[in-house]
Structure 1
Amino acid sequence: MSIVKKELLRYFVEIAYNGKHYFGWQRQPNQMSVQQVVEEALSLILRSEIKVVAAGRTDTGVHAMQLFAHFDCEEIEVNERLIFRINSFLPQDISIKNILRVTDDAHARFDAVQREYEYRISLGKNPFNFDLTYQLYNKPNIEAMNQAAKLLLVHTDFQCFSRSKTDVKTYICKIVKAQWEERDDILVFTVIADRFLRNMVRAIVGTLLDIGFGKTTLSEFQEILNSQDRSEAGASAPAHGLYLRRVVYPESLFL
């Protein structure tokens, strides 16, 4: 008697997480990752070995308000109960927000057309978000940092902000928004691009803060951009202030 295998369908899972207790998104030997926890919960509830491919890899300590990953499995009925059951097996700092049926060739990483990051800085000591923002006790010059941020919009090669010894094939990124704004006692940097390099946002933030504190001039910032040398840029801002806020896909992917 032959066993008929059921067709595998592709789904996107929408995930949010606090990255404080994880060694980044990607699975690593002997370290706890968000990917491992999500795969184990999905596999348990869907009763099948589930492997997910994410839109990107957040580093140790970085958070995500919205990250998509795709996986293949037999047809499932997506409803509130299913989402609730999966979340009940996840720790409090990881949440499944939705599961969406997509085309069979949809790819969470390669089909993303835009990604948005947010970096949050507390201006002063705040006991309620000390581990979710980078705390500064002196206010940087926001106008100067925004002047420098405008240069990012007309630049395309960001090797100077890329982690060294990386295996990327190109350092070209198209940034469409880079702006600082003050929200009460929180300073927020929003940056949107088609793609980002490893450590890129934190390196940008650290370098812009050097401008905000008068350590680097606008002309020196332009020289850093042109240098293609990570050692010319500033130190990376701490991971716990960084959030992947949004990932955008073509509507045609969703069924």
Structure 2
Amino acid sequence: MAGASKWDDLRDRMISGLAMAVVGLGLVWAGGPWFAMLAAFVSGVMLWELSRMVAPEKVRAAWQIGVLGAASVLLANSIPYGAVLLLAPLIYGAYLLQRWLVLFVAFGIAILAAGYGLIEFRNEHGMVWIVWLMLVVIATDIFGYFAGRFIGGPKFWPAVSPKKTWSGIVAGWLAAIAIGFIFRTFTNAGVDLPWVSMLLSMASQAGDFAESGLKRKMGVKDSSNLLPGHGGLFDRFDGMLGAVLFMLIVAQVVYVPEVRF
């Protein structure tokens, strides 16, 4: 039954992944307060999961940090100079948890900056590039998953993520390049989009490895058990986190053509 065990998580992964994709794409399309609430909710849950990993016995503190994180992301995009509010859950969390402070603050900054930046990016550039981001991350994950299991081969970084193979990593890059070519057909992004898509895929994989390393450091298998077949939101959105941060950095130095429907 070794062959069956290799695929035993596929059904749950597909169901929960499809549900998240449908809800996510719907709220990206809706934009405005709907997308802002989605970004704030995901940020808050990920901050809650991070707090649980850092100090699992401090259940009440984790909830407080998560709620404060979601509120700070939502309010930061609603008032002038609101970004300063993102410091509140980090300071409060460091005070309550009092352990692994460097890791908590580093990952906390990444989570909150990604949530805040996504809302700003959606408002300024529209939905098309958010959809591009999501599709690159999803394709990287899906093609990496199937290539790793069908092709297998040498492991990419077994000390951090023992299931990831070079075949899966490269398949994710190729899928991202293909999406870049598709988006070139109806946008004016130019000839650079396919290789930028590959870099986005790499950033997504880096986010995945970073969270895997964090879990190994904390001695946990999953960030939580919220999602069947996926663990927690942090497990599902670790790649998205890396990709979002990369996209936000690139957007500061490269012109992002606006595409609206």
- Shorter-chain TM-score: what band? under 0.3
- Judging by fraction of residues, say which structure has more strand: 1
Structure having greater relative contact order (Cα 8 Å, sep ≥ 6):
1
Larger Rg over CA atoms: 1
- TM-score normalised per structure 2: 0.26
- TM-score normalised per structure 1: 0.26
